[in-house]
Copies of this chain bind each other. A is one copy, B any other.
Amino acid sequence: MRRSPRRPLILKRRKLPFQLSESATVDVVPSKQPHGGGSTTTTTPQPPAPPSDGSSPKPCAVSLCFPDGVHIVPHPTKTDTRVVLIPPTADLQSVIGALTAKGKEHGPNGPNKFILLSGSGGQPCSEVNKDLDCCPLDDSLTNIHWLSGMSSDGNKPDTKSVKSEVKKEDIDINISDNNDDDNTSEQDSQGDGDAEADGQAKSSQSDRPPYSYMAMIQFAINSNTSRRMTLKEIYTWIEDHFPFFHQQTKQGWKNSIRHNLSIHDMFKRQTSPDGKTSYWTIRPEANRCLTLDQVYKLSASTVGTTIYQASPALCSAFTPQVQLLPGRQPARVTPGARKRVRSAPKVAKIDAPAAVLHPIATEMKEEPVCLPLNPQRDPHRGGEGGGGGGGGSSRRKQRLVLPSHEEPILLPPDSPFFDSGVASDASALRDMPQGSPSSPKLSFETPVKGGSSSDHLASSTPSRPLGSEPWKVTPLGKGTQRAMLDFSPIHTPGGPLHTPQHQHYHHTHLHHDYSTFNFGDPAFSELPLFSSPRELLLSSTAAGSAANCSLEGLMLDTINDSLSKVLVDISFSALEDEDMGTANISWSELIHHFI
């Protein structure tokens, strides 16, 4: 037992540079799309994305507007980059082949980088679930709704015994009962507790699930309609869904669960009004509403692309009437700030061309981590605006601030981040910095960690994309549990092109507290480890159709011959202001601005 089982290695992403170099489109475009194997278990009936039936040999079309309906638009700031909008029905492989040829035909001087987006597939999802976002429950003190049946293992969430007076406006109470498709599934799974052992037996051959503790806790909490769980409930949920932990004689994993709850700022503890029970919740701003269903189902269907619900947590209504004055957005720095690319530690994220980023003046004077745009790093440092600015991009990654004068820019994939092939990151499973909007008020309370947390990614991608995982998920699902996936309200503060710069620097008031919400945070898909470029392509194809409101895309670099999955990220450095948070705009909407 001492010999730690090691964290699941399968969680680790692997670098698989797109092998396209020597021979132009060699090996890249297999003639057929083995899309078959997928959908072994519960499938997603609804997605309006008809998967292209593959085998569409049309790789030679190099026109600017591909016959498939593909649109190529220039990048706002990068002359060598093109944004390629691909309809869900298009054949991704042929498009890539065409782009590769196109890129190479112009040589290093012409466009050689292509950001492939497929935003037209999904429904706008803007007003889809205005009320059924995360946090369906009202937490007002008076609302003791949750007192009803929570003390035990969460077996009786249906008995709304108390039903106290609702003090807030329309903060539901009905919302709490809002058993939509998505929530219903988990609701049930939780309801029966252990009785769920139905069809698929929880055989003893359960390996350790490929999820980190952080991910599993998120699965558990998000599975509950009220989005909160007691420690005991979390234990039970995990045991029920991952037999591996049921078999564990030692309780070390429970220690780890508690440890993770504590250290990750993403998990917050709430105390019931009576002070009797503690509920663990997920910081709404950080909650991607990831559920096991999503990951499991997606992995089962060979789809490596999951949309981790971008829901920025509309729970703001719960907050008292603090009503702080929203930071004035005007008079601020970095006037022309537009977009900016971001490269996550292990994640590849880029800003969508449409999105405007408000770079916000740096807080310190550290390195402007805006990755070097070109291989030849330009030390345009001397004339910096503020004298601060710090050095160029440092070694790995850490604490990046934009010199106030620097504009955000779309970063091409030439940086090491993008040539790293698949970015099977789990941003959705990460605990985003978030600026700790709560700390200000709590500042005087030592107990609160507040500040910044060291929460980090926990890849949730199952090892193998398809079928029969060795770690054995205990199903107990209905079958209609995918609504959650479709509801991905993306809060886009301002208009597509450029939002007015807000300077809200981590406001504290919670009223609609979308503090530090990043457009890009929400939707980064988990990519199962691809054993070959083909797999990457396949998963990408699937992603284009299934992922509505997705921010993910592919970065095709014809110079380096690399194809990387990237998170097309629209980042608003300071979204804390409530005024911003409410604006929802779908990814596809944004894309339409460019077509």
A451 and B574 alpha carbons, distance in the complex (Å):
12
A332 interface contact, C-beta 8 A? yes
A508 and B369 alpha carbons, distance in the complex (Å):
16
What band does the interface of chain A fall in when counting residues whose beta carbon is under 8 Å from B? 35 or more
**14 A-B Cβ contacts within 8 A?**
A140-B365, A141-B389, A275-B377, A275-B395, A324-B505, A325-B503, A343-B446, A344-B446, A349-B446, A364-B438, A438-B452, A449-B454, A505-B576, A506-B506
CB distance from A325 to the nearest CB of B (A): 6
B369 close to A404 (CB less than 8 A): no
B-chain residues with CB within 8 Å of residue A271 when the two chains form the complex: 366-367, 390-395
CB distance from A556 to the nearest CB of B (A): 21
A401 and B320 alpha carbons, distance in the complex (Å):
10
A206 interface contact, C-beta 8 A? no
A438 and B367 alpha carbons, distance in the complex (Å):
12
Given contacts A340-B444, A506-B576, 14 further A-B contacts (CB under 8 A): A168-B388, A264-B454, A278-B395, A320-B385, A323-B404, A363-B441, A363-B509, A365-B510, A398-B448, A433-B442, A433-B443, A442-B573, A443-B516, A444-B572
A271 and B401 alpha carbons, distance in the complex (Å):
12
Q: A382-425, CB under 8 A of B: which get 1 and which 0?
A: 10111111111111111111111100100000000000000000
A139 and B439 alpha carbons, distance in the complex (Å):
27
CB-CB nearest in chain B for A269: B398
B-chain residues with CB within 8 Å of residue A431 when the two chains form the complex: 451
B-chain residues with CB within 8 Å of residue A41 when the two chains form the complex: none
Q: Which residues of A contact B (CB under 8 A)?
A: 2, 138-142, 167-168, 262-265, 268-275, 278, 284, 286, 315, 318-325, 327-328, 331-333, 340, 342-345, 347, 349, 351, 357, 359-369, 377, 379, 381-382, 384-405, 408, 427, 430-456, 503-511, 513, 515-518, 520, 569, 571-576
B381 close to A142 (CB less than 8 A): yes
B-chain residues with CB within 8 Å of residue A515 when the two chains form the complex: 363, 505-506
B269 close to A446 (CB less than 8 A): no
B-chain residues with CB within 8 Å of residue A142 when the two chains form the complex: 381-382, 387
A437 and B574 alpha carbons, distance in the complex (Å):
10
A576 close to B440 (CB less than 8 A): yes
Copies of this chain, whole number: 2
The contact of A443 among B368, B453, B572, by CB within 8 Å, is B572
A364 close to B315 (CB less than 8 A): yes
A362 close to B441 (CB less than 8 A): yes
A509 close to B395 (CB less than 8 A): no
A447 close to B141 (CB less than 8 A): no
A455 and B454 alpha carbons, distance in the complex (Å):
8
A508 close to B441 (CB less than 8 A): no
**Secondary structure class of chain A's binding surface, majority of residues:** loop
A268 and B367 alpha carbons, distance in the complex (Å):
11
Knowing A361-B324, A392-B275, say if A571 contacts B444 (CB, 8 Å).
yes
B-chain residues with CB within 8 Å of residue A327 when the two chains form the complex: 325, 327, 505
A432 and B445 alpha carbons, distance in the complex (Å):
10
Knowing A360-B508, A391-B275, A432-B451, say if A574 contacts B443 (CB, 8 Å).
yes
A569 and B451 alpha carbons, distance in the complex (Å):
18
B-chain residues with CB within 8 Å of residue A322 when the two chains form the complex: 333, 360-363, 386, 404
Knowing A322-B363, A364-B513, A365-B510, say if A351 contacts B141 (CB, 8 Å).
no
The contact of A574 among B404, B445, B508, by CB within 8 Å, is B508
Q: Which one of A265, A271, A394, A576 has the highest number of Cβ atoms from chain B below 10 Å of its Cβ?
A: A271
A140 and B451 alpha carbons, distance in the complex (Å):
25
B-chain residues with CB within 8 Å of residue A451 when the two chains form the complex: 265, 286, 431-436, 451-453, 455, 516
Q: Which one of A331, A392, A440 has the highest number of Cβ atoms from chain B below 10 Å of its Cβ?
A: A440
The contact of A446 among B141, B345, B510, by CB within 8 Å, is B345
B-chain residues with CB within 8 Å of residue A439 when the two chains form the complex: 433-436, 452, 506, 516
CB distance from A407 to the nearest CB of B (A): 12
A390 and B277 alpha carbons, distance in the complex (Å):
12
A435 close to B435 (CB less than 8 A): yes
A265 close to B443 (CB less than 8 A): no
CB distance from A512 to the nearest CB of B (A): 10
B-chain residues with CB within 8 Å of residue A360 when the two chains form the complex: 322, 324, 440-441, 508-509
CB-CB nearest in chain B for A139: B365
B448 close to A400 (CB less than 8 A): yes
A448 and B278 alpha carbons, distance in the complex (Å):
30
